[in-house]
Each structure stands twice: as C-alpha cells, then as structure tokens.
Amino acid sequence: MVKGSKWANQAFGIGLNQTANFNNNVYYRGSNNYSTYSEIFANEFKSSALTIEQTRNDPRYAYSAGLALSTSLVDTFRTNSTGADSLIIQSRPERLLASGIALNQEKRIETRGGIYELALGYAANMDDRLYLGGSIGIPFISYERRSYYRESDPTKDSNDFDYFQYNDTLSSKGVGINLKLGAIYKPSEFVRLGVAIHTPTFYSITDHQSTGLTTNTEGYKGTESSYSTKLLNGVEGESKYLTMTPWRFMISGSYVFREVKDTRRQRAYLTGDIEYVTYRGTRFTAEGEDVTEDDKLYYKELKSVVKDYYKGAFNFRLGGELKFNTIMFRLGGAYYGSPYKEKEFKSSITQMSGGLGYRNKGIFIDLTYAHNFTKDVNFPYRLDEPRQNTYAVQQNTRGNVMLTFGCKF
C-alpha cells in the first residue's frame, strides 16, 4: 500500500470449493384412488389434435404421449354412456380408478454430482476498522438424475392392465459466473458487523435426456416397451438453456473474546448471520441456434410456475470457535427456511456441525463434520387440476465430512 495511506494491507486469493453435493437416494410408495401419472399422457394426446399414429412418430411427444400410445397405456375406448356409441381417450389406470380400484404407486430418485466453484478473491483493510472484499466465482455443475416410477393393479384381476413403469434419465453439465461482495466494520475491539451481497449465478447448461416406458396390458397385448431414442434418431434428447439463480443478501455480527492485535492470543469468538434468498427470481431462457417458438413458450411458462410456487426465504446461521494457540475447535448450527409459497408444503434444512482447525506459519488445515436434517416434499407427477396432485413427505438425515487446506505466501 502507499506509505501514509489508511489502507493497511490487501490480499489476493484463489480457491476451489464444492458448493453443492447432489448425491442422494429417495424412495417412497403408497396407494392412490383418485389420480394416475398416465393422465398426463392422455391429456397431452387429447390436446395434440393428432392421430395415434402421428403422435407416436412426433418427436415432441418422445418422452410422454408417444411412449404411452406405443405401449397401449393410453388408447381409445368405445362407450355408450351418452346414449350413443362414441370414442373416448383414456389411460388404462384411469379405467381402474373409475371402477373404484386404488392404484399402487412407487417412485425412486437417484441423483449424483455436485457444483465445484473456482473463486478469485481480493480483500483490503482500511485502518483495521473497515474490511472490504469481493470475489468472482466460476462454478462448474455436473448433475445426473435417474428416476423410476411404477403403477400397478393391486387386485391382480384380468382387466387388461397389470402395471406400467416409466424410467427417466437426465444429465446436466454447465458453467457459470457470479460475483460476491462484502464489507466488515469494527466499531470496537470486540465487535464485528458485516453485510454481503451475492449476485445470481448465470449458468449456461446443456441437458441430455432419455426415457423408457414399459406397460403390461395382460391378455390385450402383453408386455410392450418403447423408448424416446426411437423417435429421436437413436440419440438422447438435448436442450441448451441459460439460467439465473436467486440473489442472496446477508447481514452478520461477531463478538471476539480477549481481543488483541496478535490473533494467536485470541481465545474465542461467536458469530451469526441472517440471509435472505430470492427464490422467486430464478429464471430460464432457451439458448442455441435451433430455438423454436415452442421452446420459448416452455421457458416462459416455467417462469410463471416458479413465481406461482416459490417465495423468498430466510436462512439463519450461528457458530463459535475456541482457540488454543495453533489448534482450534468449532461448533455451529444453521436453519434454512422453506422456499415454497404454499404453507402446507413443509420444507427446511437444519444443520449441526463441528470441526477442528490448525493454523501455523501460513499453513491452515480444517476438518469439519456437518449433519443435515432435511424435510421436503416430492411430487411424483403434476396434473393440470391442482386438486388431483398428491405428494410424498420426505424426512432424511445425511452427514458430510469436509477437509480444507491452504497456505499464505
């Protein structure tokens, strides 16, 4: 720094951090007497204004109605309920529901991957009172989801339907950029007050998707299978899009015990922060040379869905550290609020963590264990009529071990 300047020192930093871990397995099952996943396929075929043969061969329906029609899960049925013979479009599970049979439903979701962020940071200290800092983050996302959904007839009667199973595989890869800015002010030797803003991360993401559907219609046509790749020239479907994650705003405070300039003689501190996340601000936009009007309409409708279902939420974190010269012990806790607008959808994450740190001669090593208690909801499918939608309540726990190593030059 310039001699005589109040800016005491400055620092540059480079870091590689894991900011998200997607490794997870979810399984649930139940009995449903008022809706079926296959209604999505039947309703899509009804609104297409196409024939069965046209829908089977239309790439737009490669993940849904095309598969259902190819395996006879959805079909046309003759009825005379109106006093005259007529054809109706219906799925076979719908016919079981109409006769008073509750369907067995089960779903398994396996996810893998994570987000790793390369961060380039800068910080400066003015007169040991005001600390300013910022970083440019370049996150890399790798995500894979395999979901398996199955519906079956619990009666095992001969009614032209035994079960169907819908398998979906999605992989996402992308890169983004974001900016983090923060300031800490020290009004006294014992107190720290801070504010921070994290801009949205702007991602460019490419998805690859493939699906398969197997239906057993018993004595009608037996077991039939169909795959999305059959309608997509033997390849997985690909979509490219831009997404903008929520803004994050934080305020924080810390209290340091036995404050002295020699940080090696500081004995402990307590710190806490409150964060507000604008989940409703998440955005998606189609990207690429082959963007169609259907693509633009899809992402426009997705924007409305995000605004209808999500809201801003507060997160709270509290922690402390006890220091013994070069060794330190840490304990902390956090509560992450629900992003859902509907109060009946209970969602939260409670986290407890503990760690051990080492600091000596410019080298630091940190080992932390964090245990998460998660509550959430999962919809196996969504129908146009909200009252027909059902969801599973998830409650699970998971532990993570994190090791950080660094050195100062």
What band does 78 get if pLDDT is binned at 50, 70 and 90? confident
Residues sharing a CB contact under 8 Å with residue 388, sequence separation 6 or more, in sequence order: 34, 35, 39
Residues sharing a CB contact under 8 Å with residue 298, sequence separation 6 or more, in sequence order: 286
Summarised one tens digit per residue, pLDDT across range 366-377 is: 999 999 999 999
What band does 265 get if pLDDT is binned at 50, 70 and 90? low
* Largest Cα–Cα separation, the chain: 97
Give CA–CA dist 45/401, Å, rounded: 48
Which residue from 104, 209, 116, 220 is spatially nearest to 165, judged by alpha carbons? Answer: 104
Q: What is the mean pLDDT of the chain?
A: 90
Within its chain, how far is the Cα of 330 from the centroid?
29
What's the mean pLDDT in 50-63? Answer: 92
Q: What is the pLDDT of residue 391?
A: 85
What's the mean pLDDT in 66-90? Answer: 82
Residues sharing a CB contact under 8 Å with residue 104, sequence separation 6 or more, in sequence order: 29, 31, 150, 151, 152, 153, 154
Give CA–CA dist 133/122, Å, rounded: 6
Q: 3-state SS string over the chain?
A: CCCCCCEEEEEEEEEEEEEEECCEEEEEEEEECCCCCHHHHHHHHHHHCCCHHHHHCCHHHCCCHHHHHHCCCEEEEEECCCCCCEEEEEEHHHHHHHCCCCEEEEEEEEEEEEEEEEEEEEEEEECCCEEEEEEEEEEEEEEEEEEEEEEECCCCCCCCCCEEEEEEEEEEEEEEEEEEEEEEECCCCCEEEEEEEECCCEEEEEEEEEEEEEEECCCCCCEEEEEHHHHCCCCCEEEEEEEECCCEEEEEEEEEECCCCCHHHCCEEEEEEEEEECHHHCEEEECCCCCCHHHHHHHHHHHHHHHHHECCEEEEEEEEEEEECCEEEEEEEEEECCCECCCCCCCEEEEEEEEEEEEECCEEEEEEEEEEEEEEEECCCCCCCHHHCCCEEEEEEEEEEEEEEEECC
Q: What is the pLDDT of residue 263?
A: 56
Residue with structure tokens 């330190």? 328
Summarised one tens digit per residue, pLDDT across range 267-276 is: 788 999 999 9
Summarised one tens digit per residue, pLDDT across range 224-239 is: 999 999 889 899 999 9
Tokens read off for 55: 């829908």
Summarised one tens digit per residue, pLDDT across range 117-140 is: 999 999 999 888 899 999 999 999
pTM of the model: 0.84
Backbone angles phi, psi at 100, to 5 degrees: 90, 15
What band does 5 get if pLDDT is binned at 50, 70 and 90? low
Domains assigned to the chain: 7-32+110-407 (2.40.160.60)
Give CA–CA dist 116/19, Å, rounded: 6
Give CA–CA dist 191/261, Å, rounded: 14
Q: What radius of gyration, in Å, describes the C-alpha atoms of the chain?
A: 27
Summarised one tens digit per residue, pLDDT across range 317-348 is: 999 998 887 888 999 999 999 999 988 888 99
Within 10 A of 355 (CB to CB), how many other CB atoms are there? 20
Percent of the chain with pLDDT over 70: 94
